[in-house]
Amino acid sequence: MKYLLIAIVAALLFIPFLGAVHLFDWDEINFAEAAREMIVTGNYSQVQIDFAPFWEKPPLFIWMQAISMQLFGINDFAARFPNAVIGIVTLLTFYHIGKKQVDEKFGLWWALVYAGSWLPHFYFKSGIIDPTFNYFIFLAIYFAYRIGYAPKPARMAIFSGASLGLAVLTKGPAAILIAVLVLIVYWIYNKFRIHIKIRHLLLIALFALLTTALWFGYEIIMHGWWFVNEFVIYQWRLFSTPDAGHGGPFFYHWIVLLIGCFPASIFLLSYIQTSRTKSIYMQQPAEAKDFKVWMWILFWVVLLLFSIVKTKIVHYSSLCYFPLSYLAALQVYRLLEGRFTLKGWNISLILFIGVVLGLAISLLPLVGIYKNELIPHIGDKFAKANLQADVSFSYGEMAYGLTYIVLVIVSCVFLFSKKVQRGLLCLFVSTILIIQVTVLHFVPKVERFSQNAAIEFYEQFQGKDVYVKPLSYFSYAHLYYTRKQPSTNPEYYKNKEQWLLEGRIDKPAYFICRITDSEPWRAHPNLELIGEKNGFVFFKRK
């Protein structure tokens, strides 16, 4: 009964209004476009972008999106639906594992802690690969851990290998790197002792290989080694150099986890503080203690690995959400059991970050209301033009953020007063509610400032036999939102931009660029200016 209840609540949290806002460039639109092109061409064995081979990502998640699009049509809802389903399955998995590890109460709190934290919740409403990848790699680690305690360890090894293979098919060999690092670190930490025998490792490797061979093997047989070679080169470039301007400091992901995983991150900090208190471990069996070790190692391996990686993108550290939420839920459970008391600095940090997030939401309407006063003080020409979008705000919308601040304060008052369960429920449930408000009410308005003018430009060409191309910036949006069809002219694929600008084109061509890059294109002899809006400039080939 509780499984059904969790599934219904998770479905209500993650599924409604998935299509309320356009997909965001790059990642969301990239994967959705690849799924759309699978449907258009009927080629499900190769990932394509602009109907040319795209070797940066394996196809599993894109297959899931393609199936969703077959069910719901080619639209934004369908592109995000697979992650909503993964969200439901993830919370059910947490409850199931938590019930086995501790009891039903802990399983419920683990699901609530995850759903009641900002980025972990938000990503299940997105169309990016990572929530699905994270789930499979977590399962691979979990089943590997279970080898030492299950009555049929070989079965656990098979499940671990299959899950690892699915993770590879979702995002690539980073899954193998993470799994191997976790295994090695656990082995070293455990003084070179481990429950996983050589035969289990061979089973894991065999079934991971068999699972990935369902596609990688087929691809190599049908098209040779070039895809695998290009794929490996791309993955190394991501690891060794900042990609697409996404560089950042070493502690980038530490800050992302602290703020983005609020309020769970605060309970993780509390766990670190009390982890050496002997009384905390007195009632726990060896199996539960060992799982905590695996979770800690998974957390630190992912955090340090992607702190070292030169490319810094928010969702790269999202696999940390799984062990972080587990350890935070464990601390919440101990708090409810009266095994320790939150320190004043823990509650103060909850109050501080909660108030900052609430203020950010409260101040957003003021940006829209007073944008004309703000624009002269902004140096970036593109940002100035973005703010000129016609988006209505009212003072009343500040109430959303202010209400969240009040609820965070109430939660902290309960926690200071030792009314722990009331305080925790108020904190996590209020966060779930404000996430819904943010996604449904504020994200569409922010999107109208940022990319909506470009999306509207693309959408007007759906069903029309024309070329559409961005200039001086990279995007996938023109492919997805024009519903582009394969080009029958081979000249298009030789040098798209130059041919569209200067060649003997066979149908009308339209172009878009940002206002900051527009001057050379305004002066181009073959381009006619046809309009501009909110930072984007539109041209037509003469």
Give residue 252's pLDDT.
Answer: 92
Place of tokens 């590879």: 168
* Residue 327 CA, distance from chain mean position: 21
**What would the two tokens of residue 519 be?**
């001057």
CA angle 521, 524, 527 (to 5 degrees): 85
Q: Could you say which DSSP state residue 438 is in?
A: I
Q: Which sequence spans correspond to the domains of the chain?
A: 2-246, 344-450, 455-541
Angle at which helix 174-189 crosses helix 286-308, to 10 degrees, equals: 130
pLDDT score for 242: 59
**Would you place residue 35 in the very low, low, confident or very high pLDDT band (cuts 50, 70, 90)?**
very high
Please name the helix (run of DSSP H) or strand (run of DSSP E) that holds residue 222, with its range, or none.
helix 216-223
- Give the pLDDT band (50/70/90) at residue 278: very low
Q: How many CA atoms lie within 13 A of 378 on its CB side?
A: 16
Give the tens place of pLDDT for each residue, 43-64.
998 899 999 888 788 999 999 9
C-alpha closest to that of 132 among 99, 96, 180, 88: 88
Question: Which pTM does this prediction carry?
Answer: 0.94
Among 22-26, 130-134, 355-359, whose mean pLDDT is lowest? Answer: 22-26
Of the ranges 156-160, 306-310, 313-317, 491-495, the best mean pLDDT one? 156-160
Tell me which residue has tokens 């990686």.
309
Among 396, 356, 390, 398, residue whose Cα is nearest residue 371: 390
Q: Decide if pLDDT at 146 tops 90.
A: yes
Q: Which residues pair with 468 in a beta bridge?
A: 510
Q: Which residue has the higher pLDDT, 230 or 446?
A: 446
Task: State mean pLDDT over 98-103.
Answer: 92
66 confidence band (pLDDT: 50, 70, 90): very high
pLDDT of amino acid 340: 83
